[in-house]
Structure 1
Amino acid sequence: MQSKRKVKDMYRKPVWLRIAWGTMQAVLIVAVFSFVVREFMFTNYVVYGQSMMPTIRDGERIIVNKIGYELMEPDRFDLIIFHADEDSDYIKRIIGLPGDELRYESDTLYVNGEAVEEDFLEESKGSNGSEVFTDDFTLEDLTDEQTVPEDHVFVLGDNRQNSIDSRQIGYVPAEEIVGRVNMTFWPPQNIRFVH
């Protein structure tokens, strides 16, 4: 009986080795899970600049929902992150969807000939020193096209007088969109969902 027990003990791994192996497995599982979540579900960004103020402030950290956004139809007024170039990602608001005819006239957005309210700009317009918050333009003035092309969106920053957006860089291809901004999480006093 004792000889069998000795034989079993010879093949048993030392306690420290079992603990190390268990720890390595846990770390690997967490790393794979984190990679999958970050690549395919959610990611976070730090916002630099004032182009989305007061909706999103310089230095705030945001959560971006990537789940299936490339398969979904974007909605007007979604806040999105997109690849502006090889080195930079921008945060902007979708104003124009594929097929839309857009124009601004007397600080009013017109989509397909109808005035559209931009409630999210009320705070900014009230604190704006000048009378005009968004300068007049038409798509044709900016792009030589009358409507937003298929698989593209037209974006603007909420801080209209201090934003590099579709007025300068043109339409954003749908495949360059990373995802929709869901919430801010840093600094803690600014935690909120973004609609």
Structure 2
Amino acid sequence: MVKNILEWIASIGVALVAAWVITTFVGTKYQVHGESMHPTFENGDNLVVSKISKSLDTINRGDVIILHGNEKKDYIKRLIGVPGDTVEYKNDQLYINGKKVDEPYLNYNKEHKFSEYLTENFDVSDTRNSGGNKVIPKDKYLVLGDNRMNSNDSRLELGLITKDQIVGKAKMRVLPMKNMKYDFYSDSFDKVN
């Protein structure tokens, strides 16, 4: 009897340590709050976030990431620019390092915009934390929400973010089950990655 109890305690202890290691270093869950990534993600969607992708440095432009906005609030955004990049929007078109990059995930929002452009004209120098430079500074990243008309991102208060703010890459939507999907990277970024 005592042996069985000790085995149960050891099993529970191993399971708790394994769960801690997995959620600390490998992955975690995240629930979307708000509409800043609509229609890619909806309020209440449940995601699996790969933390190890940050450790392995496999997060690229075009990936959807989770980041710490502050001590109490996390955000979900699309990574657009990395250190050393020039990023510019001109007439609703994205240019990274002078190359035109299509954004097919914006098609729905472009069809339903209520102003001339979905994404206003801007470049890196217009963002907070850029120091007025047209090139993204070392250790800074530019992120945008897919719902450009309703997103606090690098264009606004959030500004350019640091690598320390990045939690990981959104890898899978698990709920609602009818919208289950794996990977949210846009292949249109292949020309700049």
- Tell me the TM-score range normalised by the shorter chain: 0.7 to 0.9
Q: Cα–Cα, structure 1 residues 154 and 116, in superposed 2: closer, same or farther, change >3 Å?
A: same
Q: Secondary structure at the match of 1:184?
A: strand
Q: Distance in 1 between matches of 2:181 and 2:47?
A: 10
The one-letter code matched in structure 2 to 1:162 is: N
Which ranges of structure 2 fall in alignment gaps of 5 or more residues? 185-193
Q: Deviations over 1:9-57 (max 9, x none)?
A: xxxxxx3x23222211111111111000000001001110000111111
For residues 37 and 111 of structure 2, what CA distance do their matches in structure 1 show?
Answer: 16
Which residue of the partner structure matches residue 10 of structure 1? Answer: none
Structure 1: how far apart are the matches of 2:37 and 2:49? Answer: 15
2:6 is the counterpart of 1:27: no
Q: Considering only aligned residues, what root-mean-square deviation do their CA atoms show, in Å?
A: 1.5
Q: TM-score, normalised by structure 2?
A: 0.87
Match of 1:103 among 69, 72, 88: 88
1:80 to 2:69 alignment: no
Q: Which has the higher helix share?
A: 1
Same amino acid, percent of matched pairs:
37
Q: Is the 8 A contact 1:70 1:174 kept in 2?
A: no
Alpha-carbon distance in structure 2 between the residues aligned to 1:72 and 1:23 = 38
Alpha-carbon distance in 1 for matches of 2:138, 2:67: 17
Match of 2:189 in 1: none
Find the aligned partners of 1:156 and 1:80 in 2 and give their Cα distance.
10
Q: From the CA coordinates, give the structure whose radius of gyration is larger.
A: 1
- 8 Å Cα contact 2:27-2:51 kept in structure 1: yes
Aligned partner letter, 2:33? Y
Residue 146 (structure 2) pairs with residue 158 (structure 1): yes
2:48 to 51, 63, 76: 63
2: CA distance, partners of 1:35 / 1:127: 43
Structure 1 spans left out of the alignment, 5+ residues: 1-14
Whole-Å Cα distance in 2 between the matches of residues 171 and 27 of structure 1? 42
Give, in whole Å, the separation in 2 of the partners of 1:94 and 1:111.
12
TM-score, normalised relative to structure 1: 0.86
Q: What corresponds to 1:149 in structure 2?
A: 137
Q: Which amino acid aligns with 1:153?
A: Y
SS at match of 2:34: coil
